[in-house]
Amino acid sequence: MISFSNLSLLIIAYMMGSIPSAVWIGRMFYGIDVREYGSGNAGATNTFRVLGKRAGLPVLILDILKGFFAVKLAFLTGMYYPGTQQFINLELSLGMAALIGHIFPLFAGFRGGKGVATLLGILCAVHIGAALICAGVFIVTLMLSQYVSLSSMMAALTFPISIMFIYHETMPGLNIFSMFVCVLVLITHQKNIERLIRREESKIDFLPRRKMG
């Protein structure tokens, strides 16, 4: 049975994930809602595409940090010792709560992003070694293809491989989480997969955009 303190932490993690940095930065500094342009997502990639790197970089950093610190909320509970199965399961639960918050943000009408940057922050907090491998795969794929969606999916596919076959992790919760992450990213990128097959997917463009509105 979940304790009241853990439930409180899960709610806080969801609230942290719900911080719509792309929406708030777009509205505050550019007078637009990024969800009305580009891919329609409230994430770092669409912010880069619509508003350029001056807006995209802060959104990327904030989305990564909210995922990272949501996981670290686990240290606020005194119920479990760090490194144990129970503690790691709590970390994973907090990370999932933050990810759900990003995809369905309370503070932005439940219309968020795909959660890749937030997921990166979660992975860094949960398993930094596997996260760095995934980041390396993402960067190499992006340099070769210029497709953020393809890079994100390749990184997601790499995560369970890293966890189970490179680091040989034995904790069931972490192994299940790694597979869930992979499936989730593939599901949220279904439309991107279809566009890639049709060769209609947009390539990343870090050039500054004109101010809109």
Place of tokens 């802060």: 58
Residue 79's pLDDT is what? 81
Residue 144's pLDDT is what? 93
> How large is the C-alpha radius of gyration of the chain?
17
What DSSP string describes 10-74?
HHHHHHHHT--HHHHHIIIIISS-GGGSTT---SHHHHHHHH-HHHHHHHHHHHHHHHHHHHHGG
Q: Model-level pTM? A: 0.90
Residue 201, both tokens: 């997917």
**Residues whose CB falls within 8 Å of the CB of residue 156, separated by 6 or more in sequence, listed in order:** 119, 134, 181, 182, 184, 185, 186
pLDDT tens digit at each of 213 positions of the chain: 567 788 999 999 999 999 999 999 999 999 999 999 988 999 998 999 899 999 999 999 999 999 999 999 999 987 888 889 999 999 999 999 999 999 999 999 999 999 999 999 999 999 999 999 999 999 999 999 999 999 999 999 999 999 999 999 989 999 999 999 999 999 999 999 999 999 999 887 544 444 444
Residue 206's pLDDT is what? 46
